[in-house]
Amino acid sequence: MIPEFEVTILGNTSSIPVHGRHHTAQVVRFGQDFLLLDCGEAMQLQARAFKIRVSKINTIFISHLHGDHYLGLVGLLSSYHLAKRTSPLTLFGPQGLDEIITTHFRWSNTKLSYPLTFVQTHDDGLNLLLDTPRYQVYSFPLKHRLPTTGFLIKEKHGLRSMIKEKLQQDNLSFAAIQSLRKGIDYKDENGKKYKVNAYTHPLPPLRSYAYCSDTIYNPDLKPYLENVDLLYHESTFMEDNRERAAVTFHSTAKQAAEIAKISGVKKLLLGHFSSRYTDLELMLGEAKSVFPSSILSEEGQTYAI
């Protein structure tokens, strides 16, 4: 059975929450696992509005220490404590995040009811952060005004499905079935060989999701993003503010589309919109002129990967 792999957008605006848009936060679901990417203000309210059970989140990834990407974090961690959470929580983020969090709880005289583990991220290349039986999470460097990482979630192959007719026909042993499901050819005690391709169904294509929070236009991202199924890339500005984008280390929608095009991604999800834009359709048009498979991220929408 193929596990569900999807991302729900809780916030898609940049520095100021306006026009009904909220600060950056996304929940990625892979099967029964829930991962939070960034945690801007109003994350909890948005999660309630869109029926996301935050109690299921066991892993949080913070891209960088600009407030619109993490200022909802203390509130979320506090709510977990007030709800008497006991299950462990792992927090991945840049240097300084652990100091911010522990300082707050020290001065509020709070001893959390659950184990909280900090793992520091680094912006020095592709780094494996989390390795589970069905997926891996990597960080990769973005170019912004302070240390920033993107996140790449890649599916791993699970066990293969057996061809029932062949299974019944040849009366395979338990050991043979276990080996074949793992993708390993099997040879029995009599020397008879059982080939994986003859007894199991082909594996489905592996899926992937890449998240680029804040970054200047950077073609060097291509090796990290190559052929991903869905790319979320910030598109703070339109082309008439291209110089402003460069000065603030952000990207335009068209630049995000150029990154998607050179990286060969299947679909581009635009987000992190500047407060100066109320109507985003012109921004989408600029992106689609370069990469037709571009869409605007919408709060409350879930995108299958």
Mind listing the domains of the chain with CATH numbers?
Answer: 5-158+203-304 (3.60.15.10), 164-199 (no CATH)
- Window from 52-56, 177-181, 249-253 with minimum mean pLDDT: 177-181
Given this model, what pLDDT does residue 24 score? Answer: 98
Catalytic site includes residue 68: yes
Asked whether the beta carbons of 271 and 297 are under 8 A apart, the reply is yes
Residue with tokens 């291209």: 242
Name the packing angle between helices 281-288 and 253-263 (round to 10°). 30
- Name the catalytic one among 38, 68, 123, 229: 68
Encode pLDDT of 38-55 as tens digits.
Answer: 999 999 999 999 999 999
Given this model, what pLDDT does residue 162 score? Answer: 80
Asked whether the beta carbons of 302 and 8 are under 8 A apart, the reply is yes
Pull the structure tokens for residue 128: 């494996």
- Window from 43-57, 99-113, 190-204, 288-302 with minimum mean pLDDT: 190-204
Encode pLDDT of 102-135 as tens digits.
Answer: 999 999 999 999 999 999 999 999 999 999 999 9
Given this model, what pLDDT does residue 120 score? Answer: 98
